Structure 1
Amino acid sequence: MRIHNQKNRYPDENIMNEIKTLAEELGRAPKRREYIRSGMAIKKFGSWNNFVKAAKLTPRDPGKSVTNSKKRKRHTLESLMELALQMEIDNGRFPSYREYPYFESVMQRFQTWNKFVATCEKRKCKKD
């Protein structure tokens, strides 16, 4: 009986090529959540930054924004919920976290997508 080891299922060369291609598309080193095989990369290299460095890319500094923070919009809890509820009206269903344009802002304020959805539902009930 042969036991498959995840480290050997997908060659290092393949994931290195994938992250380099993604970095070219983004114009910077990808964030962990932007790479579909990030879990595999972390298991193989010990950490996301180790993986990025092994691919000869420069990881961003912890806490450093990849955008110009002066140009970044600041969203209130109210504006985040208003947008989600408007998207629900427009699409006939509540948006998924992948469809929502300010997912990171939601995560910073609510910690989970489900908490955000529940809060929006409560707010919607109060309006009705």
Structure 2
Amino acid sequence: MKKYSNEYLIEEIQLLAKKIGHTPRTTDFSHYSLVFKRFGSWKAFIEAAGLPEYSARKTKTKTIYSRYELAKAAQEQALVLRRAPNSKEFKYAHIVYEFFSNWDEFIKFTGLKPKERFFKDKKVYTSEELVAEVRVVEADLGRIPKCHEVPYGIYIAVRKQYGGWKSFLFKEGFSEKKPTINNGVYK
């Protein structure tokens, strides 16, 4: 079992709160049992994280009257998530099924693409900027980062410019290992 620090747990709950738009409940957080052991209660943990107490009564939800208002709400959430929301993240998911037969039909209607990440401003990075960004992550970790440990936009830029993460590491002097070439041979 991994050992998570209190700081890590607090950071994770703050990120989750930002992602879902309200203070998470215990059912929203995967490490809730560890939270009870460390902080004594969910309320103490939420206070330590600096989040307001969750209350279903305090949360105001907008009334949705049409398919178009529902689609607009999904598009607004997609801007925050940088991808199409899934049914568990979308707070109006219960209404979706009144207008649409399934989730995929709804996502098609919104004009969003499921499982595709997007960015408001697509930045083109120079190789020097990519190296600098990866060096920052390397300094934080104290080792060469893995591809999933750098920001998603940086990883995509690396893949586009270098063909892959290992090629980037080798060409920019992070690693002395030459990348292997996959010739389409499956073992």
Shorter-chain TM-score above 0.5: no
RCO comparison, higher one (Cα < 8 Å, 6+): 1
**What band does the TM-score fall into relative to the shorter chain?**
0.3 to 0.5
| TM value normalised by structure 1 | 0.44
| TM value normalised by structure 2 | 0.32
